[in-house]
Amino acid sequence: MQRREFLRLSSLALAGGSLLARGPLALADALSGKGPASPAKALADEFPKGFLWGSATGAYQVEGAWNVDGRGESIWDRFAHTPGKIKNGDNGDVACDSYHRYREDIAIAARLGMKSHRYSIAWPRIQPAGKGAANAKGLDYYKRVTDTLLEAGIRPFPTLYHWDLPQPLEDAGGWPNRDTAERFADYAKIVIDALGDRIRQWCIFNEPKTFTHCGYWQGNHAPGRTDPLAFLRATHTVNLAQGMAFRAIKAIDAKLEVGGVYDTQPTYPATHSEADKLAAQRWYKFINLWFLEPALKGRYPAGVLTPERQTDLLGWRDGDEATVRAALDFVGINYYSSWIVADAPNGNGVPGLNTKADWATNYPPHHRTDNGWDIYPKGFYDILTDMAEYTGHLPIEITENGAAYNTAPGADGHVHDVARIAWVRAHLLELSRAIRDGVPVRAYHHWSLLDNFEWADGYTQRFGLVYVDFATQQRTLKDSAHWYAKVIGANGVSTDETNARLESALR
Ligand code: FCB
C-alpha cells in the first residue's frame, strides 16, 4: 500500500469518535518530515499575556543525598541499587546534587527568566517509612527550596509524587495494596500543612499511567514487578489516592488549586483493519483517560477491560465512585511522542485490552531523538485539542515537554544543541496553534532544567537545558537554554529567524 494511502486510512479510521478525529493531510505532512503543520506566520507575541514559561525536574532525578537528613529508602533506591536494572549501573545517590546545590539551580532558572518551576517532593524525605510522624529536616528542605523560588520571583509548582514510594510501603504490597491510598492521603496532609501557606498550586501524581504500567506490569521501572493484574489493582489504588489526597488538601485550604499530571499521547492504528482501529481507541482511553475519568466522572472509561470482570480486576468496592472523584482545578499534560497500536487478539495480559502498542513507530521517516523516541510535533496539537474537548473549561498546564539529545560541550566549551532547539521550537509552534484554536493552556514547563538521572537509562540520556558534568557537578548553559530565554523574553517563538538549519537538525 502506498504510504499516503495508508496514512489516509489510518487517520480516517479514527475520525468516527470526536475525541479521536484526525486530519489525514496534516499527519502525512508531519510524518514526511516537512516539519510541523504550522501557520504561515506566527508572531513573536503569539502566547497569551502572562503565560507562565517554566522548567521541570523530579526529586529522585536531581536531588541526590539519598540517605541524608533522615531520608528513608525509596523503591527507586532499591531498584537502582539492584545490579542490572539501570544502564551502566547508575543510580540517583548523587544525581545533580540539587539537595545541596538548589540555590545555584534556582539562580540559573531565574537568569533564564523562568516564571514557574515544577519540582517534586520526595515522600521518603517527609515520612521515611511511609507512615507516621513527619521528618522535620525533610520538610525544611522543601521550605528552603520554595522560599528560594519565591525570592527569585518564580512560582513554586510542586508535585507530591514523582515515583519515589517509600520502600517499606512496597514491602507491604505497594500500590496494588489499597492501604497505600490512605498512607498517601496522610502524607499529602503533612506536606500541605507545612507548605500550603506559600504554595498555591499543587499537582498530586506525576504520570500515574507510567509509574503503574512500567513499575508493576513492564518491570522496567521500580519496583520492577511484571504482573498485569497487580498493575490493574495499582491503577485503582492510585485513583483512590488521587481522590483522597484531593479532599485532604482542600480540607486544609479550599482555595488551594489542585491538579494532576498526566502523560498523554495520540494513538494511531497500525493498519487500516477494523481490529486495529478499535485497538487504537481502547489504548487511547487506557493511556489518556484512566486517571482522569475516575477523577472527573467517578468511573472508568468503558470498553477497555472485559466488562464482567472489571470490578474484580480493579478491586472496586461499593462507594469507590465517590472516593475516586476529584474536581480538579487544572490538568497537567506531558507530551513526548505518539503511539501506533495493533490489535492483539491473543491478549496482552490485561483482560479485554488486547493491544500491542509501539512508541518508536517504525514508520518512515524515522526521525528520532537520541533515546529513540519518534519526533512528532503535530501529535502535541492533536492531543491538546483532544484533551481540551474532554476536560472542557479546565485550565491546562504543560507540565513536561522536551527531548533527549546528548550533545557534549564542543572545543569552545559551549553545548551547541541545535537539534533540541529545533525540537522545542516545532513543539511550541504546535502549542501556539492549539492555544489559538481555543485550548486553554496557561503554562509550559520544559523537561528538563538540568540533565539528570533518566530512570532506567541512568545518565545516558540528556534532557536538560543545562549541561551537567556529573563528575564535577559543573553546570553549563546549553545553546537551547539561551534560545529558551529569548522565547520567554519575547513571550513567543519568532518565525523570522532562518529556520533551515533548525529544520534540518530534526531530520
Ligand atoms: C517523563 C517523566 C520524567 C522524565 C521524562 C523524560 O515520563 O515524568 O521524569 O523522565 O519522562
Rg (CA), the chain: 22
Confidence check: pLDDT of 13 > 90: no
- pLDDT tens across 139-177, in order? 999 999 999 999 999 999 999 999 999 999 999 999 999
Give the whole-angstrom CA distance, residue 475 versus residue 117: 18
**What does residue 389 show for φ and ψ, rounded to 5 degrees?**
-65, -35
At 46 the pLDDT is: 81
Question: Which residues sit opposite 396 in a β-bridge?
Answer: 331, 441
Known active-site residue 151: no
The single residue of 63, 207, 430, 454 carrying the catalytic annotation is: 207
From the CA of 321, how far away is ligand 1's center (Å)? 30
- Pocket lining for ligand 1, CB < 6 angstroms: 58, 61, 206-207, 210, 263, 334, 400, 447, 454-455, 463
Distance 9 CA to ligand 1 centre (A): 32
| pLDDT mean over 255-265 | 98
For the CA of 454, the closest atom of ligand 1 is: 10
What is the per-residue pLDDT across 310-358, written as a single tens digit (0 to 9) for each?
999 999 999 999 999 999 999 999 999 999 999 999 999 999 999 999 8
Give residue 73's region: left, alpha or beta (phi > 0; psi -120 to 50).
beta
- The three three-digit cell numbers of residue 403, written as one number: 527531548
Q: Which long-range contacts (CB under 8 A, 24 or more apart) does 31-37 make?
A: 31/7, 31/363, 31/364, 31/365, 31/376, 32/365, 33/365, 33/367, 33/506, 33/507, 35/377, 35/426, 35/503, 35/506, 36/377, 36/378, 36/381, 36/426, 36/427, 36/429, 36/430, 37/378, 37/381, 37/433
Bond preceding residue 448 cis, omega within 30 of 0 = yes
Q: How remote is the CA of residue 312 from the centroid of ligand 1, in Å? A: 31
Name the residue at shortest CA distance from atom 5 of ligand 1.
Answer: 447
Burial of 9: CB neighbours in 10 Å, binned 0-12, 13-18, 19+? middle
The least confident of 1-10, 128-137, 337-346, 482-491 is 1-10
Q: Which of 205, 334, 373 to mutate to test the pocket of ligand 1 (most atoms within 8 A of CB)?
A: 334
Residue range 387-407, pLDDT digits in tens = 999 999 999 999 999 999 999
Atom of ligand 1 nearest to the CA of 210: 7
Q: How confident is the model at residue 223 (pLDDT cuts 50, 70, 90)?
A: very high
Any idea how long the chain is? 507
CA of 117 to the centre of ligand 1 (A): 15
| Distance of CA 25 from the midpoint of ligand 1 (Å) | 30
The C-alpha cell at 115 is: 516564571
Residue 360's pLDDT band, with cuts at 50, 70 and 90, is: low
Question: What distance in angstroms lies between residue 381's CA and the mean position of ligand 1's atoms?
Answer: 20
Annotation says 104 is catalytic: no
**pLDDT tens, position by position, 277-312:** 999 999 999 999 999 999 999 999 999 999 999 999
Cβ neighbourhood burial of 54 (10 Å; 0-12, 13-18, 19+): buried
pLDDT at residue 367, as a whole number = 85
- Select which of 397, 400, 430, 454 is catalytic: 400
Q: What are phi and psi for residue 118, nearest 5 degrees?
A: -100, 125
Atom of ligand 1 nearest to the CA of 61: 9
> Nearest C-alpha to atom 2 of ligand 1 is from which residue?
207
> Could you tell me the pTM of the whole model?
0.92
Q: Which residue has the least CA distance to atom 4 on ligand 1?
A: 454
